[in-house]
Amino acid sequence: MLCVLVLYNGLVSGQQSTTIVDSFRLYKDIKVTVDRPLNLSGYTKTIVTFYALPNGNTTGQTMGKKMLPGDDWHFDIQHIAAQTKFIRQQVEINFVVIYLENDYKSWPLWKQKHTDFRKLIPQIVDSLAGVYGGSKAEIYLNGHSGGGSFIFGYLAGVAQVPKQVKRISFLDSNYGYDSSYLPILSKWLRKVKGAALNLFAYNDSIALYNGKPVVSATGGTWYKGHLLLQHLRADYSFSKMNTDSLIIYKSSDSRVQFYFKQNFDRGIYHTQQVELNGFIHSILCGTKMDSKKYMYYGKRAYADLIE
């Protein structure tokens, strides 16, 4: 188990409850920030969610804040802290969020620097989940953009996904998917009771930035997301629903869900999938609180909780 040294500890007064934030470093180049309820004995169930940061963002920017003149726009595009507060208001559980940042601000680059990432990443997850949730805690793996590389690093490092891992969410972060990950994901979904997989992507295959493609036709989350959907059709039947801008696929038991954002103007809709209640929905979709008091890709349900 890793030796965890807490370097910072601070109370954060929320509107509904009091939380405590711990921050410390691992392996010299990883910053870990833990947002947890002050009293973890309040409920019998604990969920520890690992949120791997997107490329180029700090933990503070990822948590978000009320914007003031001159603030960096990155503070206003995810708001995971406020979305976490919203989730805690909806569910009677100990909900812990662990932010994972590295000094390169890129999990793909961090993995290149650490050839033993297959050993290190599972150690990080297992050890921190034990410290902050205990042996009975459920583990959720979550991340945006390059944060998906952390999740794939975890999958590459375990022989099978343990039963404590109950949910894996790709918030426009599944760039690294290929068929080599299908067996371990399929086995996990079959063997682990309550295992849930959700994926959010927009049609980046036609997106333009300054008139040039953002990704190749087969290199983005849209293509890779449809590839995973195609692979899972061998084991699952999916219903399909269209809204004004979304194409949604759900397995019959709602444990596997795909949300594809259409792109009518060849724009970039990368961070909006997080900002517009995406983190909330990645945690609550398929549960009894699915779309209660919020709508995915609707107005910010957590707006009043931003501090």
Angle of helix 221-232 relative to helix 182-191, nearest 10 degrees, comes to 50
Task: Determine contact, residues 299/8, Cβ cutoff 8 Å.
Answer: no
What confidence score (pLDDT) does residue 77 get?
98
Ordered domains of the chain (ranges, CATH) = 8-305 (3.40.50.1820)
What are 82's two structure tokens? 């406020």
Per-residue pLDDT of the chain (307 residues; tens, 9 = 90+): 455 544 445 544 444 447 899 999 999 999 999 999 987 776 789 999 999 999 999 999 999 999 999 999 999 999 999 999 999 999 999 999 999 999 999 999 999 999 999 999 999 999 999 999 998 999 999 999 999 999 999 999 999 999 999 999 999 999 999 999 999 999 999 999 999 999 999 999 999 999 999 999 999 999 999 999 999 999 999 999 999 999 999 999 999 999 999 999 999 999 999 999 999 999 999 999 999 999 999 999 999 999 9
Indicate the burial class of 220 (C-beta count within 10 angstroms; 0-12, 13-18, 19 or more). buried
What confidence score (pLDDT) does residue 88 get?
96
Q: Sort strands 212-213 and 30-37 into parallel, antiparallel or unpaired.
A: unpaired
Chain length of the chain? 307
Rounded to whole angstroms, the Cα distance separating 99 from 143 reads 9
Rounded to whole angstroms, the Cα distance separating 290 from 296 reads 10
Name the pTM for this structure.
0.95
**DSSP assignment of 61-108:** HHH-----TT--GGGGS--HHHHHHHHHHH-SSEEEEEEEEETTS-HH
What are 27's two structure tokens? 């392996």
